[in-house]
Chain A
């Protein structure tokens, strides 16, 4: 494996390889494999970022290695967005960045400077729930609830992207959101109901 050094072209490296975040997130896959030689970025570079989270402006100095997901959960306490794998494979961490859905474990916090983030915590307007939240409750589209925020954020994007015209379409669009309890049918019902209602999402 290539020897990474943070002193040369650090920013360039980070921009080119946001997958490096995943390398740090999953050391068990790599650690002590004899070919791996990573120089510890000590002290790790930090960068100032500003972003809007659910309408609130946030400024912070962050470790350049921290994912948007871990930044939200571990530093800011926005734990509504869930970590299910850290590898972009399960959809539990899906949120909206500038209105588009994204696995937040697959983007570094520093890549989101100046961007608008919407998480599950920002959906309700006071006590008035978002139509997708209401539909999830009505259809019992959850069991343990851990994948639920990701499913809801993905479900909203499904309708916004015009991909909720029938059950097959919804199922395909939602294929990146794993639910191990098996609430899939009720989740698709919930998205279909919101779509049918014609409500703005």
Chain B
């Protein structure tokens, strides 16, 4: 039997044991005594005013403790738009204020929280509320609304070079692309448990990508000091961006727990997960690209509209990659957002760039056929030697190595240049490729390193890990730095009381937090050297800077026999432990005088049945330039996950609305299709694995986004190669393929 597992010379995922034994504890699973359960009752109109809520029957139902709505919601400091003196409240809650007013802003908006002794009682009572509304007209149809330019917000624009370059291009392609709403749908349901320990002090167990950010948000909500809010998020069951901000469940649980003076747990239902935790906005894009007869790009014009809600403005980097991924003198981008009567979108894996690269990379593919050039050669022809937008040199860019390896591994030589000309066992065969790119940033972080009396090292930071393997990567960095075995190092996260760490998102955790871990280890080594010279006779006359830290101890570089273990060293120095808290400052690309980006190139082979037009992805090769790979084991898994996400975007995922009522019609895993086991092809992962010399001392760039960005285009391009038909409206279905024009 074929087996794709690649042995790696490192230990397992640091938290794997907890995860396979059921010991890993996610937000809703913390045991809290005297717990009450809250469930949301949600609006059944898309827009309007709540005229009345009749709670009488529900209040009489067994086990019901309280029903909280705008009618009886306590005054919450962070809900007040203005301070007492009439000035704007600077600590106002970010986003919709749940249970605050009688306005309905979208279908399925939480308008009451039923709190009862048990979940069953709360669910049963939630059916008994009688609510009347005054309906207002609404708009949820993006594709209809975008045709009226007056409805979108003013554009953000960018332009460089001379527009006549495009006008005079020898070859041009011009296409429109649409991407429906896609929803993160992590397997763990959004959940919050709020426990007030005093009038102004609480502990919150929450599904969050940023324990510190959540701590701050709750502190502002109740106008209490940050230190009075403890946020625990030791395990996060996937998020992909949907836990970058705090949704309705967070304030609702905190408010209810305060009001009834008991701990309250609020878990969203799966249908609510499709509406109440953000999503990738729906988008329309037009991409025009022109080249000279040799294939050199002379102009790119990228126009995009994506939806936001009526009550918040959400923008993302949908047109950004078009400005800098390839060398091109003339680039013009124009991006507008269009408010609709729906809930607010948010960042979803590969935010913006994933949508933008679908249009850009599909268009470049199309151009390659017009030029009769290999699409990889066309990209090499237009390789950007430096970032054409910022004009800064790349900190590193090994895209060309990705091309070489990707082509070899997928057997690119088998690709037919003429679409629809190759068959295998009666199926049409197609090969496609596309690139991904994302910023590789680094922000501030703080890490505490504690060397314990037994010589074990504990690292701590208030971050959370939604799955990529932060704990694994951080222990690996410390292990390599201190030459200390992995089993002597642990990393504690998921608690806001630890030293402040970044929110996990935007592919920055390894770079940001890893740098702090690296610096903490460097500081620890310095302390150990000093401690050795001051306390150990054999080291007394040696220069501290020459001492070597390795294998859990200190040795003299000139005489390797002179060695003392860290544990003995602490004992001699009369220290119960050694503790260092290290800050790491973030740096911007401008400060680094380099453009800092991660790159990926994905190669896909598909089969398409000529009769049914069923699409089978049979093989994927995904390659990445993400700097040095810290943990090959977890990094590979992250790349595999990006491929699965890309398959979902390309072939399956689409949230659907009934525009007559404004309701979502497929808010479940039965209606909203995601990739399943049988949809997954043989996938090979390859990393350039060369350290970036500029971004940080560990050489790692980001990985989470580029694993996903570009995949949908690679699949669409392979489908074109197989069939000669280009589907520009995701997801690609047999029906659309049938209707698609060449």
Where the two chains meet, the residues of A that have a C-beta atom closer than 8 Å to any C-beta of B are 24-33, 36, 38, 40-44, 63, 65-66, 70, 73-74, 77-87, 89-90, 92, 119-121, 123-124, 129, 133, 136-140, 142-149, 152, 166-168, 170-172, 174-189, 192-193, 195-196
Give the complex CA separation of A137 and B469 in angstroms: 13
Give the complex CA separation of A148 and B16 in angstroms: 10
Give the complex CA separation of A168 and B681 in angstroms: 10
Let me know if B20 and A178 touch, CB within 8 A: no
Let me know if B12 and A137 touch, CB within 8 A: yes
Q: Which of A81, A84, A176, A182 contacts B641 (CB 8 A)?
A: A182
Let me know if B20 and A133 touch, CB within 8 A: yes
Q: How far is the CB of A65 from chain B (nearest CB, A)?
A: 5
Give the complex CA separation of A137 and B14 in angstroms: 10
- Given the interface pairs A66-B120, A86-B269, the reply to whether A80 lies near B3 with Cβ below 8 Å is no
Let me know if B680 and A185 touch, CB within 8 A: yes
Q: Which of A28, A79, A180, A185 contacts B640 (CB 8 A)?
A: A185
Question: When each residue 38-76 of chain B gets 1 if its CB lies under 8 Å from chain A and 0 otherwise, what string results?
Answer: 011110100000000000011011100000000000000
Let me know if B124 and A142 touch, CB within 8 A: no
Chain B residues whose C-beta falls within 8 Å of the C-beta of A87 in the assembled complex:
270, 668-670
Chain A residues whose C-beta falls within 8 Å of the C-beta of B185 in the assembled complex:
180
Total cross-chain contacts (CB, 8 A): 256
Chain B residues whose C-beta falls within 8 Å of the C-beta of A40 in the assembled complex:
57-58, 61-62, 124-125, 127-128
Question: Among B230-238, B387-395, B520-528, B581-589, which stretch is in contact with chain A?
Answer: B230-238
Which of A171, A178, A180, A192: most chain B Cβ within 10 A? A180
Q: How far is the CB of B187 from chain A (nearest CB, A)?
A: 4
Let me know if A44 and B668 touch, CB within 8 A: no
Question: Among B24-32, B194-202, B419-427, B724-732, which stretch is in contact with chain A?
Answer: B24-32
Which 3 A-B residue pairings sit nearest by Cβ, starting from the closest? A80-B22, A182-B644, A146-B237
Question: Among B81-89, B366-374, B629-637, which stretch is in contact with chain A?
Answer: B629-637
Question: When each residue 109-121 of chain B gets 1 if its CB lies under 8 Å from chain A and 0 otherwise, what string results?
Answer: 0000000001111
Q: Which of A31, A63, A73, A120 contacts B44 (CB 8 A)?
A: A31
- Given the interface pairs A144-B237, A183-B641, the reply to whether A178 lies near B127 with Cβ below 8 Å is no
Question: Among B445-453, B596-604, B671-679, which stretch is in contact with chain A?
Answer: B671-679
Determine whether B502 belongs to the interface, using a CB cutoff of 8 Å to chain A.
no
Let me know if A177 and B677 touch, CB within 8 A: yes
Q: Which of B4, B22, B126 contacts A27 (CB 8 A)?
A: B126
Let me know if B3 and A145 touch, CB within 8 A: no
Chain B residues whose C-beta falls within 8 Å of the C-beta of A181 in the assembled complex:
187, 238, 467, 637, 641, 644
Which of B5, B184, B272: most chain A Cβ within 10 A? B5
Let me know if A143 and B41 touch, CB within 8 A: no
Chain B residues whose C-beta falls within 8 Å of the C-beta of A124 in the assembled complex:
21
Q: Which of A83, A142, A168, A188 contacts B19 (CB 8 A)?
A: A142
Question: When each residue 232-273 of chain B gets 1 if its CB lies under 8 Å from chain A and 0 otherwise, what string results?
Answer: 000111111000000000000000000000000001011110
Give the complex CA separation of A11 and B678 in angstroms: 39
Determine whether B560 belongs to the interface, using a CB cutoff of 8 Å to chain A.
no
What are 24 sample pairs from A and B whose C-beta atoms fall under 8 A apart?
A: A26-B270, A27-B41, A40-B128, A42-B61, A44-B62, A44-B121, A44-B124, A74-B119, A77-B31, A82-B188, A85-B669, A87-B669, A121-B21, A140-B633, A142-B20, A144-B236, A170-B677, A175-B677, A180-B186, A181-B637, A181-B641, A183-B640, A186-B640, A195-B1
Q: Which of A65, A123, A166, A180 contacts B21 (CB 8 A)?
A: A123
Let me know if B669 and A90 touch, CB within 8 A: yes
Let me know if A43 and B16 touch, CB within 8 A: no
Chain B residues whose C-beta falls within 8 Å of the C-beta of A170 in the assembled complex:
677
Chain B residues whose C-beta falls within 8 Å of the C-beta of A171 in the assembled complex:
677-678, 680
Give the complex CA separation of A183 and B638 in angstroms: 8
Let me know if A140 and B13 touch, CB within 8 A: yes
Q: Which of B24, B130, B270, B675 contacts A182 (CB 8 A)?
A: B675
Give the complex CA separation of A121 and B185 in angstroms: 26
Chain A residues whose C-beta falls within 8 Å of the C-beta of B638 in the assembled complex:
143
Give the complex CA separation of A145 and B410 in angstroms: 30
Let me know if B235 and A140 touch, CB within 8 A: no
Chain B residues whose C-beta falls within 8 Å of the C-beta of A43 in the assembled complex:
62
Give the complex CA separation of A160 and B108 in angstroms: 43
Give the complex CA separation of A124 and B240 in angstroms: 31
Chain A residues whose C-beta falls within 8 Å of the C-beta of B25 in the assembled complex:
79
Give the complex CA separation of A10 and B135 in angstroms: 39
- Given the interface pairs A26-B269, A40-B57, the reply to whether A31 lies near B129 with Cβ below 8 Å is yes
Chain B residues whose C-beta falls within 8 Å of the C-beta of A25 in the assembled complex:
123, 269
Let me know if A174 and B677 touch, CB within 8 A: yes
Chain A residues whose C-beta falls within 8 Å of the C-beta of B2 in the assembled complex:
167
Which of B21, B26, B677, B678: most chain A Cβ within 10 A? B677
Chain A residues whose C-beta falls within 8 Å of the C-beta of B12 in the assembled complex:
137-138, 140
Q: Which single residue of chain B is at the shortest CB-CB distance from A122?
A: B22
Give the complex CA separation of A82 and B20 in angstroms: 12
Chain B residues whose C-beta falls within 8 Å of the C-beta of A29 in the assembled complex:
271
Let me know if A189 and B3 touch, CB within 8 A: yes
Give the complex CA separation of A104 and B22 in angstroms: 15
Q: Which single residue of chain B is at the shortest CB-CB distance from A38?
A: B127
Chain B residues whose C-beta falls within 8 Å of the C-beta of A79 in the assembled complex:
22, 25-26, 29
Determine whether B350 belongs to the interface, using a CB cutoff of 8 Å to chain A.
no
Determine whether B291 belongs to the interface, using a CB cutoff of 8 Å to chain A.
no
Q: Which single residue of chain A is at the shortest CB-CB distance from B16?
A: A137
Determine whether B548 belongs to the interface, using a CB cutoff of 8 Å to chain A.
no
Let me know if A166 and B680 touch, CB within 8 A: no
Determine whether B643 belongs to the interface, using a CB cutoff of 8 Å to chain A.
yes
Chain B residues whose C-beta falls within 8 Å of the C-beta of A66 in the assembled complex:
118-120
Give the complex CA separation of A86 and B120 in angstroms: 13
- Besides A32-B130, A183-B640, 15 more A-B contacts (Cβ < 8 Å) are A80-B23, A82-B237, A83-B189, A90-B669, A139-B5, A140-B636, A143-B637, A143-B638, A145-B20, A146-B187, A180-B185, A184-B644, A186-B637, A188-B680, A189-B3
Within 8 A of A (CB), among B649-682: 668-670, 674-678, 680, 682
Chain B residues whose C-beta falls within 8 Å of the C-beta of A188 in the assembled complex:
677, 680
Chain B residues whose C-beta falls within 8 Å of the C-beta of A195 in the assembled complex:
1
Q: Which single residue of chain A is at the shortest CB-CB distance from B21?
A: A124
Let me know if A27 and B131 touch, CB within 8 A: no
Let me know if B21 and A129 touch, CB within 8 A: yes
Question: When each residue 438-480 of chain B gets 1 if its CB lies under 8 Å from chain A and 0 otherwise, what string results?
Answer: 0000000000000000000000000000111100000000000
Let me know if A166 and B1 touch, CB within 8 A: yes
Chain B residues whose C-beta falls within 8 Å of the C-beta of A41 in the assembled complex:
62, 124
Which of B26, B57, B237: most chain A Cβ within 10 A? B237
Determine whether B552 belongs to the interface, using a CB cutoff of 8 Å to chain A.
no
Let me know if A44 and B120 touch, CB within 8 A: yes
Q: How far is the CB of B10 from chain A (nearest CB, A)?
A: 10
Q: How far is the CB of A122 from chain B (nearest CB, A)?
A: 9
Q: How far is the CB of A79 from chain B (nearest CB, A)?
A: 4
- Given the interface pairs A28-B40, A175-B677, the reply to whether A145 lies near B18 with Cβ below 8 Å is yes
Q: Which of A63, A92, A189 contacts B4 (CB 8 A)?
A: A189
Let me know if B123 and A27 touch, CB within 8 A: yes
Let me know if B13 and A31 touch, CB within 8 A: no
Let me know if B20 and A136 touch, CB within 8 A: yes
Give the complex CA separation of A161 and B187 in angstroms: 26
Chain A residues whose C-beta falls within 8 Å of the C-beta of B5 in the assembled complex:
138-139, 186, 189, 193
Chain B residues whose C-beta falls within 8 Å of the C-beta of A133 in the assembled complex:
20-21
Q: How far is the CB of A108 from chain B (nearest CB, A)?
A: 10
Q: How far is the CB of B666 from chain A (nearest CB, A)?
A: 12
Let me know if A42 and B269 touch, CB within 8 A: no
Let me know if B19 and A145 touch, CB within 8 A: yes
- Given the interface pairs A42-B61, A87-B669, the reply to whether A182 lies near B20 with Cβ below 8 Å is no
Chain B residues whose C-beta falls within 8 Å of the C-beta of A77 in the assembled complex:
31
Q: How far is the CB of A193 from chain B (nearest CB, A)?
A: 7
Q: How far is the CB of A5 from chain B (nearest CB, A)?
A: 14
Chain B residues whose C-beta falls within 8 Å of the C-beta of A120 in the assembled complex:
20-22
Q: Which single residue of chain B is at the shortest CB-CB distance from A179?
A: B187
Chain A residues whose C-beta falls within 8 Å of the C-beta of B235 in the assembled complex:
144-145
Which of B15, B119, B668: most chain A Cβ within 10 A? B119
